[in-house]
């Protein structure tokens, strides 16, 4: 039995998220079906995190075990030949015995794109949240700074989905404009040791309230210390969210990171 | 009867091009059906150029006449409410009497996107031509320089589609990398007083042969002077092409530009 680690991009628009669910088209199912066709055996794959319906990935990391002698490059080509156009396996590599994409993750980087007004950019409609008025990026960045570091992020966790601990460490939370062909959407880049359910989308929903001028940066500090989901902003739509990169210890397989 | 000019963006992926054809889903049909629902009368719209199936537009210009008292802003909102998500009217304005989007165009700017290897970027798959190896942008730019100016572009015209004259003037032909979220595709920007059928896509197909190292920049000069379609490169796929902008004389309505 060999352990593998693969890096996968996908356009989540047409999928009911990562996780296999009866009767639903999911990324996990597409990858498992491809591996079954290739190896002739039933294979279970594990992702660093279960992205929701409509969420995209540039660098999702997936682990699996397989009894195959195929070299990783051949496996990569075979999976790509057996998955739809909106999934692309960027790399397959052998991994240390016991490697597990969730358990061994040390940090994850998500990017959220906001396309602010006045005109909707058609070409980013599946990848960005359109807000029909210009947002104040400086204010959003000021509010973001408040959240960097180790905090209890309970106020930004989806209701009804409690974890044992809602303390997480945000290493980086940048808000700035990027170049996207002819448009300049706002990118919210967040890297943390782990995320609560809907945490990025709830943070973005709150930052947008600040960007619109409804609240100032100090409000975010109150939301954080209030530890109540009702204090934060709305959940930003799934389509704007992309999992960019997952980091592992150099000797992953022995790690015990707290990612989810 | 009032004359109107509107600027329209569309994602051409799901359309059989601009022009109305029996039984086909086209941009022209979508706009005409919307205007008919709004005004209660049959309205014919004219675009600066009839983009092919799969070709996109950021700033297509469309002219039409209508007997309506609706202000242009109201008309814009009403059309957007009556067209699918992949069409967006950016502006509606009244135009001088006789304004005609084809006849009065002075120049058009197209952009062609090439996403070169080794990894396919999923998120630009509907908007860029993927070539699974890196291209030499400097060589492509050198070859592009040869085509700037007034030339007979017969070698770059689709076979079987002759115009009265195949002489056109290219004002600008730039090849360079742009930022597109996390990728750096090659953009070919071309502005000319008019284009022969498939001219941009044939120019791009030829530039790609240079970028791959199959030919040097001097070869393009031979193709141009040879005046034979068979000498040029292949037609680049439609999905990479976007009509960016159409220019008109300040007092459009009295112009007589040579756009097509």
Q: What is the pLDDT of residue B133?
A: 94
Q: Taking a contact as any Cβ pair under 8 Å apart, which residues of chain B between 167 and 186 contact chain A? A: 178-182
Provide ipTM, 2 decimals: 0.77
Q: What is the pLDDT of residue A257?
A: 35
β-pair partners for B112: B188, B241
* Active-site residue (options: B52, B86, B136, B189): B52
Angle at A247 between CA A16 and CA A202, to 5 degrees: 50
Which residue of chain A has the CA closest to B126? Answer: A123
B11 touching chain A per CB within 8 A: yes
CA distance to A14, A23, A178, B122, B250, per residue, from A84 (Å)? 11, 17, 29, 11, 48
Give the list of residues 6+ apart from residue B255 with CB closer than 8 angstroms, or none.
B103, B104, B105, B106, B248, B249
A74 backbone dihedrals φ, ψ, rounded to 5°? -65, -40
Q: What is the pLDDT of residue B160?
A: 72
Percent of chain A surpassing pLDDT 70: 95
A81 touching chain B per CB within 8 A: no
Q: What is the pLDDT of residue A90?
A: 94
Which residue of chain B has the CA closest to A178? Answer: B181
| Mean pLDDT (whole number) for B116-133 | 90
Buried b (16+ CB within 10 A) or exposed e, B63-75: bbbbebeeebeeb
On chain B, the residues whose CB falls within 8 A of the CB of A7 are none
Q: Where are the beta strands (DSSP E) in chain A?
A: 2-10, 46-47, 56-66, 87-94, 105-116, 129-131, 149-152, 167-177, 186-192, 241-248
On chain A, the residues whose CB falls within 8 A of the CB of B243 are none
| Mean pLDDT (whole number) for A236-250 | 94
Q: In angstroms, rounded to a whole number, what is the distance separating the alpha carbons of residues A47 and A102?
A: 6
Q: Is the pLDDT of residue B164 over 90?
A: no
Q: What is the pLDDT of residue B240?
A: 97
Does residue A118 or residue B56 have the better pLDDT?
B56
| Mean pLDDT (whole number) for A166-193 | 94
B244 touching chain A per CB within 8 A: yes
Q: Is the pLDDT of residue B104 over 60?
A: yes
Which residue of chain A has the CA closest to B244? Answer: A182
Q: How close A39 comes to chain B (CA, Å)?
A: 24
Task: Decide: A83 and A15 in contact? Cβ < 8 Å.
Answer: no
B83 backbone dihedrals φ, ψ, rounded to 5°? -120, 160
B64 touching chain A per CB within 8 A: no
Q: Test A56 with B123 for CB contact under 8 angstroms.
A: yes
Q: Test A88 with B119 for CB contact under 8 angstroms.
A: yes
Q: What is the mean pLDDT of chain A?
A: 92
Query: Would residue B13 be called left, alpha or beta, if left means φ above 0 and alpha means ψ between -120 and 50 degrees?
Result: alpha
Q: In angstroms, rounded to a whole number, what is the distance separating the alpha carbons of residues A107 and A169?
A: 9
- For A178, the closest of B85, B127, B181 (CB atoms) is B181
Q: Is the pLDDT of residue A120 over 50?
A: yes
Q: Is the pLDDT of residue A255 over 70?
A: no
B118 touching chain A per CB within 8 A: no
Q: Is the pLDDT of residue A251 over 60?
A: no
Q: What is the pLDDT of residue B259?
A: 35
**Would the CA dihedral through A96, A99, A105, A111 be positive or negative?**
positive
Q: Is the pLDDT of residue A260 over 60?
A: no
β-pair partners for B190: B110, B173
Does residue B55 or residue B162 have the better pLDDT?
B55
Q: What is the pLDDT of residue A161?
A: 66
Closest CA to A27 of A79, A87, A111, A90: A87
Q: What is the pLDDT of residue B162?
A: 66
A88 touching chain B per CB within 8 A: yes
| Mean pLDDT (whole number) for B138-160 | 95
Question: Is the full-model pTM beyond 0.90?
Answer: no
On chain A, the residues whose CB falls within 8 A of the CB of B178 are 179, 181
Q: What is the pLDDT of residue A259?
A: 35
Percent of chain A surpassing pLDDT 90: 85
Task: Decide: B69 and B38 in contact? Cβ < 8 Å.
Answer: no
Q: What share of chain A is helix, strand, coil (3-state, %, to 5)?
A: 30, 30, 45
Mutant choice from A60, A123, A241, A243 vs B, greatest count of B C-beta within 10 A: A123
| Mean pLDDT (whole number) for A7-28 | 94
Task: Decide: B186 and B137 in contact? Cβ < 8 Å.
Answer: yes
> Is-catalytic flag, B52?
yes
Q: How many CB pairs under 8 A join A and B?
A: 52
3-class SS of residue B122: helix
Q: Name the pLDDT band for B260 (thresholds 50, 70, 90).
A: very low
| Mean pLDDT (whole number) for B238-255 | 81
- For A9, the closest of B87, B122, B127 (CB atoms) is B122
Q: Is the pLDDT of residue A179 over 90?
A: no
Q: What does the CA dihedral A61, A67, A72, A76 come to, rounded to 10 degrees?
A: -70
Chain-centre distance for alpha carbon A239: 11
Q: What is the pLDDT of residue A121?
A: 87
Query: Would residue B58 be called left, alpha or beta, if left means φ above 0 and alpha means ψ between -120 and 50 degrees?
Result: alpha
pLDDT tens digit string along B249-259?
865 544 333 33
Q: Test B120 with A88 for CB contact under 8 angstroms.
A: yes
Q: How close B181 comes to chain A (CA, Å)?
A: 5
Looking at A68-82, A224-238, B119-133, B188-202, which range is the least confident one? Answer: B119-133
Q: Name the pLDDT band for B166 (thresholds 50, 70, 90).
A: very high
Q: In angstroms, rounded to a whole number, what is the distance separating the alpha carbons of residues A136 and A257?
A: 35
Task: Decide: B45 and B100 in contact? Cβ < 8 Å.
Answer: no
Q: Kindly write down the DSSP assignment for every residue of A51-77, as one continuous string.
A: PPTT-EEEEEEEEEEE-----HHHHHH
- For A123, the closest of B90, B127, B178 (CB atoms) is B127
């Amino acid at each position: 039995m060999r352990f593998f680690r693969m890096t996968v991009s996908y356009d989540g628009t047409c999928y009911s998220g990562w996780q296999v669910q009866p009767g639903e088209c999911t990324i996990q199912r597409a990858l498992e079906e491809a591996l079954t066709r290739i190896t002739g055996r039933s294979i279970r794959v594990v992702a660093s995190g279960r992205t929701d319906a409509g969420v995209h990935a540039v660098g999702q990391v997936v682990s699996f075990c397989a009894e195959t002698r195929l070299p990783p490059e051949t496996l990569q080509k075979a999976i790509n030949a057996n998955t739809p156009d909106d999934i692309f396996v960027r790399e397959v590599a052998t991994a240390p015995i016991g490697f597990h994409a969730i358990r061994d993750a040390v940090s994850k980087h998500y990017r959220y794109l906001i396309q602010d007004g006045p005109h909707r950019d058609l070409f980013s409609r599946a990848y960005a949240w359109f807000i029909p008025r210009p947002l104040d990026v400086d204010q959003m960045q000021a509010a973001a700074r408040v959240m960097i570091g180790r905090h209890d992020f309970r106020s930004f966790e989806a209701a009804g989905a409690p974890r044992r601990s809602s303390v997480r460490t945000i290493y980086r939370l940048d808000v700035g404009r990027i170049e996207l062909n002819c448009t300049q959407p706002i990118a919210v880049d967040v890297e943390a040791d782990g995320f609560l359910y809907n945490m990025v989308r709830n943070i973005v929903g709150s930052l947008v309230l600040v960007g619109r001028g409804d609240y100032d940066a100090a409000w975010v500090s109150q939301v954080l210390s209030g530890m109540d989901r009702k204090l934060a902003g709305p959940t930003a739509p799934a389509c704007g969210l992309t999992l960019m990169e997952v980091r592992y210890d150099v000797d992953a397989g022995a790690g015990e990171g707290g990612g989810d």
